[in-house]
Structure 1
Amino acid sequence: MSLQVRQRLGVADVMTLLNAVLGVVAMVVAVTVGPVAAAQLILLAAVADGLDGIIARSQGGTAVGPLLDSIADIVSFGTAPALFLWAATEAVIADAVPASLPMSEGLAVLAASAVPAVVVVFSLIRTALYTVHVGEDEDRPGIQNTLAASILVAAYLAGLTAPAVLLPAAVVLSVLMVAPVPYPKLRARDALVMGVVQVGAIFLPAAFGRVFPRALLLAALAYMTLAPRYYWAE
């Protein structure tokens, strides 16, 4: 039996695969170049994630599309943000572990990996439960891992780089992924506006006093806190 790749994958699936590729590149960049470039790539993956939904709605999706999208989300908005977080906080955490402690280097690695591991675990749980138990037309319980990742990296690009801010925020966002609060999908118009702001945050993160990542952060936080009660999707 042939997998019939060309017959069973559509244009939207190609965009989903691009999302996953960007997530992998973000992971490599996080540990080789640094957290700023990784944050930009994660936001670019989020743009690709939004585009694959638009393409699927306009041209039709495939049977494998939802599963492929879930797997790509784990790569780009679970594992990649975890490595971004490690890159952004590892040096400070390592300095905070006294060198006089036995196995201090190992303890530093464990300490720096703890919150990134939490991010991955909750992203996996959220994605698995959503894939199995939530219908395509239902509101989504818990914040999307795309949203959680976007808030985290937008905060960093906006200038909130202290581990004392990033680590607690990552834990809270991780728990909110499985919170029993339904979130509606963005209207196409609003998703387009968010996409434009995301592009600005990606390519001009420091322009005009970091206006684009700060605007993205404020918009994402507004959706996270207000959407369950005050936002109605089309």
Structure 2
Amino acid sequence: MSIEIENNLSKKLEHCKTVCMEMGTLLVRAGIHGVLDACHLDLDEASFLSLLLHEKPSAVFYEEITYDPERFIRGTMMSHGWKESWEKDCESIWPTPDEIKAELRVELAKAENRIGLPRSLMVTYAIHGQHRICWLSAEWAEEISEKIDEIIEARHERAENARNQIAITLDSLIKEVANDPEFKAIRGRPKKLLFLQKKYGARIPPHPRGQITRPAQNCDYVDQHIAIVLIKADELAWSAENIE
């Protein structure tokens, strides 16, 4: 199927121009911002045109966004809550735009000849302060957007699974250390810390972001997970001995 047939957003815009021209309504190209945040009517194409003919507003506004792979990827990521400042954050669980592009190399290659063509079209007008909106996206652009959604969701799921596994591991180690006779016999957290690092250190997963803390006033700064195991195991061992 040719690009001219595939890309029908331009044809839909031309049809809207014809409708507006026939009823004497001004059609204006504009940057449309914030209308989705306010109360509005979200209409499909047929309903929008039907209401347009019925209400006959004095002006209708439209915004046509052309396809640019870089802007499209970043915009889709931002719609999920991503911020550009996280791109260089090596500790972020978010994929970078370059990682998205690498995973979508096949899809982006197929869409390369669509660069510069319309990928979405928004048409809107207001009656008594309430906007009527028709927002259309090219099917191929929707498919790429869905792929980006899947990549982001999979990355977040992996991060969540990793956090859950670390939590399980730490909980198990805390109980094991708290029941260790050698650990319980030691007095003072600085000495307990040395024992913990020597006997259990290799089994304690490091904090994924490298955070460090001091588990007690007289202790050195250590990985936060080591500190968590030390503090909670010490508290658990104390409770077992002193609270019935």
TM-score bracket for this pair, using the shorter chain length: under 0.3
TM normalised by structure 2 equals: 0.23
When you count helix as a share of all residues, which structure comes out higher? 1
Q: Could you say which structure has the greater relative contact order, defined with CA pairs below 8 angstroms and 6 or more residues apart?
A: 1
